Structure 1
Amino acid sequence: MTMSVKGKSSLESLQIGRALAALAVLLLHVELTLARPVYLGENIFPIFVPGSSGVPFFFVLSGFVIFLAHHHQLGDPSKIRGFIVKRVRRVYPVLWVVLLALIPFTYFLFPHRFDLESLPAALLILPTNDNPWLTAEWTLRHEMLFYALFIIAIWKPKIGFPILIAWGLASLYDVFTDFKSDILAFYFARIHLLFLFGMGASYLYIHKKVSMPRTSLISGVAIFATTWTLNYYNGDWSDDYFEVFYGLGAALIIMGSARLEQLYEVKLPKFLLFLGTASYSIYLAHFPFVSAMCKIVLILGDRIPFGNVGKFMIVAGVAFVGSIAFYLWIEKPMMAHVNKWTERWAR
């Protein structure tokens, strides 16, 4: 990576974060699925189990990007429609394609999980703790809750921000103990704190309060890597604390890298930038490929070279390539049309 001083407003480094987070989640799901008793029944690369850290990173990044993109609209109710249109068209169309494709897939390969009654809640991303169709959708349910609260901040900041802060404080309770009610456990899940971490990092970035961006980046990487290591060696350590420290590390990484990119010309790997653009497809589409390929490698058995390592590489490789194909052949052309059709409502 080379640097030279140059003013810059684009934030390609955020795409790198998206790419790495999506890959971490993909590798996590390959590891956990193959380790199930019905497949291999053992861990192949347990180092990937902390890949769940990709979710806290995504949540912090979401808080950062939403505040960065819309902070100038706060207090302007006329911008609410545009905010809703942009969020809906980004989240729903790709999700609908994946879910509709899962109907025949689930019916034939996983009939015990086939539940049409729960499909409307999945299609609409309604608040629930059940995700029988697509495991990764649970994060979207919390994302939509964050969007709903941010809309209040756009409408009236003096009402919206106290609500967001109160929401964060209530979610802090979940770090130290568990809610008895499933409803409270959803609406005040500890992971909501990470949206606020991202918003705080975005505020500091916008107002040029990140005076030592390299220190921020290095500290964030150190906290994230240390938490990953503790997560790996101490799997029984409370997930509550893992998520909080992953979130803190992610906030420092995002804030520091964004400020560095603003100050300097940074040459970033084009392939990772591409993966960042495709990260939503990777995140949503990989798991059906993982599920199908786990069944196939089990059938092929010893015909696959390098034993269980070979099986892992095949499952991960097909899931990765399949997700990229989904992005290139489905998400990208579809979203070009969707964005064109909705542009006049998104202003």
Structure 2
Amino acid sequence: MERSSNPTLFSIQALRAAAAAMVVIFHQVNAERVYGGGTTILGGWAHLGYAGVDVFFVISGFIMATVTAGRFGSPGGAIDFLAKRAIRIYPLYWLCTAAILAVLFLRPGALDPALSDKSVLGSLLLLPLDGGPLLVVGWTLTYELYFYILTAMALAMASERRVPALVAVWATALAAAQMLPVQGPWLSLIASPLGFEFIAGVVVGLYWRRLSIGASVSLLIASLVWLLIACGLLVDTPDRGQAAGVRALAFGPPSMLIVGALARLELAGKVHVPRLLAAMGNASYALYLTHVFVLSISGRIFAGLGITGSVAGNYAFFVATFAATCVVALLVHHLVERPLMRFGGFAWTKLRDSSLRPLGLRVYDRGQR
């Protein structure tokens, strides 16, 4: 028997954990290059860990299509949506950026000198910037905010039945933009092929419930075959497929199929997710933001103690730092991120009820559709 019509999809949380872990491994490759003493154990497919970001973008589109169902045609709902996404994204990101600013102020020589030339305000606001924000992983959040703004515009002005048409128009316009010369961070953001990944997530978010169990299994198998072929083709190329168009084609479609198939199979009770994976999925944002700090600190410690520089030492470095990133993420999620979100949610609810409702702007409380 299938579960409720509005289930908590732990399989998607587990997929978020896997995507974050892929990004950690991708950055461990660079950490080994810097702190590994000339010895290399990470190579090959570890370089493809950047694809975790592509999985995140598809999941983001899927979640947006799911949480906005039944809430279109409401300017107040659009404002409420953006406020809640800002509460989700900004506070922890600001703390991590503040840590970088503190190091730049206290020990500027400890970081890349190029960071001193980046816009602090642009970084804090996650505006499109040449070279990205101060926090290296923050560039993906700029994309997320762009996606959220487009979602909010649809919530404010469109009816739900027009969502598929809006998605089709966006996809068509984005495809046309690939034929045009694009310069500057703002236009590069708008015209980026990575937008197709968010579109793919929205599409699967609209139609995943229509999949049969057999079709879901077939799609899951097909996605894994696609990934194996894509990884095999890209792993030995100079940039390993990191160009936006290449990665969108290589990892967007299989991520879409995996998300839809796992969601449908879990709804039917065919997928059961271990609690630890679900917990890491909940902490995936904290893992994504904090792992670069853990890798840097761990690398300095291991190199300073002379542990790295051999195969055994580098394996110890890899395992210990990966475990440390997960532990730190869980601690930050429970001790910092969740309290910040609770406080932000409480403050926004008070502000919303005292400002939007008196203006007659319709909003949706938790649990309402």
Return the TM-score normalized by structure 2: 0.83
- Of residues 330-339 and 62-71 in structure 1, the stretch that sits farther from structure 2 once superposed is 330-339
Per the TM alignment, residue 121 of structure 1 is displaced from its structure 2 partner at its CA by 1.1
Alignment correspondent of 2:338: 332
Mapped contact 1:61–1:198 kept (Cα < 8 A): yes
- Separation in structure 2 between the aligned mates of residue 265 and residue 307 of structure 1, nearest angstrom: 41
- Of residues 172-181 and 254-263 in structure 1, the stretch that sits farther from structure 2 once superposed is 172-181
Alignment correspondent of 1:272: 277
1:7 to 3, 10, 16: 3
RMSD: 2.7
Alignment correspondent of 1:227: 230
- Of residues 40-49 and 176-185 in structure 1, the stretch that sits farther from structure 2 once superposed is 176-185
Q: Superposed, which structure 2 residues align to 1:1-347 within 5 Å?
A: 5-8=1-4, 9-36=7-34, 40-41=37-38, 43-46=40-43, 47-107=45-105, 108=107, 109-110=110-111, 112-115=113-116, 118-157=119-158, 165-172=168-175, 179-206=182-209, 208-209=210-211, 212-236=215-239, 238=241, 239=243, 240-264=245-269, 266-302=271-307, 306-344=312-350, 345=352, 347=365
User: Which one-letter code corresponds to 1:123 in the other structure?
Assistant: L
Task: Give CA-to-partner distance per residue, 1:107-136, whole Å, 9 cap, x none.
Answer: 422162452861211111112233352111
Aligned residues with identical type, % of pairs: 24
Task: Give CA-to-partner distance per residue, 1:185-212, whole Å, 9 cap, x none.
Answer: 2221111110000011111125x25562
C-alpha distance 35-204 of structure 1, shift in aligned 2 (>3 A): same
- Of residues 197-206 and 303-312 in structure 1, the stretch that sits farther from structure 2 once superposed is 303-312
- Of residues 281-290 and 263-272 in structure 1, the stretch that sits farther from structure 2 once superposed is 263-272
- Of residues 216-225 and 252-261 in structure 1, the stretch that sits farther from structure 2 once superposed is 216-225
Per the TM alignment, residue 73 of structure 1 is displaced from its structure 2 partner at its CA by 1.3
* Corresponding pairs, count: 341
- Separation in structure 2 between the aligned mates of residue 166 and residue 113 of structure 1, nearest angstrom: 39
Per the TM alignment, residue 41 of structure 1 is displaced from its structure 2 partner at its CA by 4.6
Task: Give CA-to-partner distance per residue, 1:41-86, whole Å, 9 cap, x none.
Answer: 5542113111111000000000010011103112232311211121
Structure 2 unaligned spans of 5+: 353-363
- Of residues 169-178 and 295-304 in structure 1, the stretch that sits farther from structure 2 once superposed is 169-178
C-alpha distance 174-294 of structure 1, shift in aligned 2 (>3 A): farther
SS of structure 2 residue aligned to 1:318:
helix
- Of residues 75-84 and 333-342 in structure 1, the stretch that sits farther from structure 2 once superposed is 333-342
SS of structure 1 residue aligned to 2:129:
coil
Return the TM-score normalized by structure 1: 0.87
